[in-house]
């Protein structure tokens, strides 16, 4: 979704509350003012919808039948699939005292509302928080940095590749690009669990690649689970050394998942030129060719596994 589309679509509010009258009261304030409302009736439903529907704001009742609103808030603040700038507020069906408000703030909520609810003040605060959240969304979409990993996004990686390429052309120097992705391990999980684990894998792999990279390298995401390293002053042998070092580092550091840890394995591919000025290649083409090599290696691995 483009930045302009982000600002044009109706903001989405997730209301998690098993008390129908209370939820309808909140909905009667928000719906007439342009909000699309999602409903959850338990804390676990709220967790699932927050991860998959990406609401603009989350309103949690403190007393849900399975998990308290504060517990859900803490879990969401620790979840990499829910952006840290999403406003979360907690409500109660009785007057709120100071300790309740402090508890909500400690859990990561932006505010706590008790009864009697001042609907006008509630709406004004929600509007302000959602405007701020969506402006951050737009800034992230237009930035050069991937919001999940903190590495370059595709736009930033392409810009940095051209800068490194221009320097390589001036110096008649080599340059390489290495592409990396986790091996497909989806058979080890149900489809639902596999989807939930993707971001854990991306964060784990991204951190290792960042740590193993050189200061001169440009590192970023090529796709949902693919990374690229643009390595200046690096020929084919150097690119192979980088790949081998990465594979050793990844396999030596277990991926910690909820309830288990496992060894993550990666596939790699690269493309290198000994003198970029003599190759007539756009530096971004290096990334395209490295990604093609990665996918070719992945297909070769799948064929070998079948035979």
Label each residue of the chain as H, E or C: CCHHHHHHCCCEEEEECCCHHHHHHHHHHHHHHCCEEEEECCHHHHHHHHHHHCCCEEEEECECCCCEHHHHHHHHHCCCCCCCCCCEEEECCCCCCHHHHHHHHHCCCCEEECCCCCHHHHHHHHHHHHHHHHHHHHHHHHCCECCCCCCECHHHHHHHHHHHHHHHHHHCCCEEEEEEEECCCHHHCCHHHHHHHHHHHHHHHHHHHHHHCCCCCEEEECCCCCEEEEEECCCHHHHHHHHHHHHHHHHHCCEEECCEEECCCEEEEEEEECCHHHHCCCHHHHHHHHHHHHHHHHHHHHHHHHC
Does position 188 have pLDDT exceeding 50, yes or no?
no
Average pLDDT score over residue span 97-126:
94
More confident residue, 221 or 305: 221
pLDDT of residue 5: 60
Q: Pick the residue with more confidence: 87 or 198? A: 87
Specify the pTM. Answer: 0.57
Q: What is the mean pLDDT of the chain?
A: 88
Instruction: Quote the pLDDT of residue 304.
Output: 44
Share of the chain above pLDDT 70, in %: 90
Average pLDDT of span 228-232: 96
**Which of 50-54, 71-75, 125-129, 261-265 bottoms out in mean pLDDT, i.e. has the lowest?**
261-265
């Amino acid at each position: 979704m483009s930045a302009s589309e982000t600002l044009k679509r109706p903001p989405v509010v997730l209301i998690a509350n098993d008390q129908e009258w209370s939820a309808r009261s909140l909905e009667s304030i928000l719906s007439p003012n342009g909000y699309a409302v999602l409903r959850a009736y338990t804390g676990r439903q709220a967790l699932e919808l927050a991860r998959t529907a990406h609401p603009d704001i989350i309103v949690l009742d403190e007393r849900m039948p399975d998990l308290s609103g504060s517990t859900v808030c803490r879990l969401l603040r620790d979840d990499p699939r829910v952006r840290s700038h999403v406003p979360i507020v907690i409500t109660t069906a009785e007057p709120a005292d100071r300790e309740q408000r402090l508890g909500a703030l400690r859990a990561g909520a932006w505010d706590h509302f008790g009864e009697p609810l001042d609907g006008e003040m509630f709406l004004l605060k929600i509007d302000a928080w959602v405007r701020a959240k969506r402006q951050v969304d737009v800034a992230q979409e237009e930035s050069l940095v991937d919001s999940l990993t903190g590495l370059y996004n595709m736009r930033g990686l392409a810009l940095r590749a051209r800068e490194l390429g221009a320097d390589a052309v001036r110096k008649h120097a080599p340059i390489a690009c290495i592409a990396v992705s986790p091996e497909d391990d989806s058979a080890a999980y149900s489809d639902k669990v596999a989807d939930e684990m993707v971001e854990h894998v991306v964060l784990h792999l991204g951190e290792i690649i960042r740590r193993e990279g050189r200061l001169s390298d440009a590192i970023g995401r090529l796709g949902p689970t693919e990374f690229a390293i643009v390595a200046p002053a690096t020929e084919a042998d150097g690119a192979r050394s980088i790949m081998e070092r990465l594979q050793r580092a990844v396999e030596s550091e277990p991926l910690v998942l909820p309830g288990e840890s496992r060894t993550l394995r990666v596939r790699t591919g690269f493309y290198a030129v000994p003198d970029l000025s003599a190759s007539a290649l756009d530096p971004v083409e290096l990334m395209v060719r490295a990604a093609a090599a990665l996918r070719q290696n992945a297909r070769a691995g799948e064929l070998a596994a079948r035979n």
